[in-house]
Amino acid sequence: MKFPHINRRTHLYLGLFLTPWVLMYGVSSIPFAHNDYFEERDKALGVPLWTKTFDGPFDLGPVTESGSLKQLGEPVVRQFKLEDSSYGVYRQGPNQINIYVHTFWKSTQFKYFIDEKRLTAEDRRFRWEHFLTGMHARGGFEDGRFLHTLWAVLIDAVCLAFLAWIASGIYMWWSLPGLRKWGWVAVLAGIGSFSIFLYRL
Amino acid sequence: MSLLLRRIHLYLALFLAPWILMYAVSTFVMNHRRLFHGPPPEPPPQYEVERELVYPGEMPEGATPQQVALQLLATLDLDGAHAVARPFTAERVVVNRQDAISPRRITYTAADKKVRVEKMIFSGAGFFERMHRRRGYQHNYVLDDLWAISVDVTIVALILLALSGIWMWWELWVTRRLGALALGAGIGLFCLLAAVL
């Protein structure tokens, strides 16, 4: 097997394997790029986005400025049996800690009021654009659990595949002398307009 | 049809290579946040003072912070996509001027008419994240609209590249079996992760 053949096949099979991710990143970019449109459309429905499911006393113990926020959220996530989901903990203010628990299908937001030792839980209504943007924005190796890490590894694979597709695509284009002229036009037009954006944007 | 699809696949990809390259690198950077930004919490971006001056003109009586921002940017020759930082007060207006390479923070204090222009210290990771997250349609600037259009074109191209790739694969009899295996494995793994994560 010669290099051009390996190059073509790698370009093809890598593309086929990663097709769902490429399509997902493409489609999910639409609600990101046109966020105002989707928000207005949803607002027009007149249905609240969040529904309160819990409001009551909860003691997280002493909350220090320097302690790990992630650890602070652990008992809440465990209590509500959401430990399989990924979650983030943020300090909303001096007296409030927010915990966001997120799966592709469901989001729950907890608010812990330190002074009152009170916790509220709200579930977010399912929206397809949130499902897509949630997938798009998911990443990172911080979680450490196997499937979460696998997702992050696949994101790296998609990134590297894009580089490989560009390199192998350029190689294949260069191997077809009849397409060089228009190919150059496309390459230079792309680099030129992108450079203008970089310089002026 | 087949030839047309092949040509569109090729030329579209060649034209959009810089965008795809930027999105690939920036995604990698965001996927390895700890490596590029250090352990959380991430430090805020660093600025250096570029110039300080006393505002030479007069702000209109009762001008809103947004109007002050527009006038400031025009005077400083920095007109472009920007956002006024909260809280909105007439006494102190902070304007974040977007820029791909060097975003600026402009602070105006009404009492002494002082203007401080600070430039963000360049960081490669920050640059790629800014480019990745940059939108356009919400600003009143033609160049930002053009950028937003280029992002839309990249979105359509991504979908088109994937679908035309499937078409081209299907035309190649010899690659159908292995191709189906690759596509099936990809779809299977994707559905599994979509269901459980």
Do B31 and A156 form a contact (C-beta atoms < 8 A)?
yes
Residue of chain A whose Cα is closest to the Cα of B16: A190
The 3-class secondary structure across B12-42, one letter per residue, is HHHHHHHHHHHHHHHHHHHHCHHHHHCCCCC
Do B127 and A12 form a contact (C-beta atoms < 8 A)?
no
**Nearest by Cα to A151 from A93, A103, A199, A200:** A103
Same domain as B57, residue B104: yes
Do A112 and A92 form a contact (C-beta atoms < 8 A)?
no
Instruction: Please report, as a single letter, which amino acid is at residue B44.
Output: P
As for how many domains chain B has, the answer is 2
pLDDT value, residue B137: 82
3-state DSSP assignment of residue B166 = helix
Same domain as B60, residue B9: no
Same domain as B110, residue B142: no
Chain B residues with CB inside 8 Å of A163's CB? 21, 24
pLDDT single digits (tens) B119-151: 999 999 999 999 999 887 888 888 899 999 999
Chain B residues with CB inside 8 Å of A172's CB? 10
Name the minimum distance, in Å, from the CA of B147 to any CA of chain A: 7
> Which residues, including other chains, have CB under 8 Å from residue B87's CB and lie 6 or more apart?
none
Same domain as B146, residue B112: no
Within a domain: B162? yes
Distance between CA atoms of residues A46 and B129, nearest Å: 34
Distance between CA atoms of residues B147 and A35, nearest Å: 16
Instruction: Please report, as a single letter, which amino acid is at residue A62.
Output: P
**Nearest by Cα to B106 from B135, B77, B130, B128:** B77
pLDDT value, residue B17: 93
pLDDT single digits (tens) B151-188: 999 999 999 999 988 998 998 888 899 999 999 999 99
Within a domain: B40? no
| Domain final residue pick, B122, B153, B183 | B122
CA A182-A187-A188 angle, to 5 degrees, is 100
Within a domain: B107? yes
Q: Is A193 on the interface with B (CB under 8 A)?
A: yes
Same domain as B117, residue B158: no
Within a domain: B187? yes
Within a domain: B36? no
Do A99 and A89 form a contact (C-beta atoms < 8 A)?
yes
pLDDT value, residue A193: 92
Distance between CA atoms of residues A127 and A124, nearest Å: 9
Contact B159 A26 (CB under 8 A): yes
Residue B47, Cβ density class (10 Å: 0-12 exposed, 13-18 middle, ≥19 buried)? middle
Domain extents for chain A?
Answer: 3-39+143-189, 50-124
Residue B41, Cβ density class (10 Å: 0-12 exposed, 13-18 middle, ≥19 buried)? exposed
Query: What is the pLDDT confidence band of residue B64, given thresholds at 50, 70 and 90?
Result: confident
Whole-angstrom CA distances from A58 to A43, A86, A111 are 33, 21, 11
Domain membership of residue B169 as a residue range: 2-21+138-196
The CATH class given to the A50-124 domain equals: alpha beta
Same domain as B142, residue B91: no
Within a domain: B28? no
Contact A140 B33 (CB under 8 A): yes
pLDDT-above-70 percentage for chain B: 100
Residues 33 through 72 of chain A touching chain B, CB cutoff 8 Å: 33-36
Chain B residues with CB inside 8 Å of A201's CB? 81, 98-100, 134, 143-144, 147
Residue-level pLDDT, tens digit, chain A, 201 residues: 788 888 888 889 999 999 999 999 999 999 999 999 999 999 998 999 999 999 989 888 887 777 677 888 888 998 888 887 888 888 888 888 899 999 999 999 999 998 888 999 999 999 999 999 999 999 889 888 899 999 999 999 999 999 999 998 899 899 889 899 999 999 999 999 999 998 888
pLDDT value, residue A111: 93
Q: pTM (2 decimals)?
A: 0.85
Q: Which of B22-31, B104-113, B129-138: highest mean pLDDT?
A: B22-31
Name the minimum distance, in Å, from the CA of A64 to any CA of chain B: 15
Is the previous residue joined to A94 through a cis bond, with omega within 30 degrees of 0?
no
Same domain as B98, residue B52: yes
pLDDT value, residue A108: 93
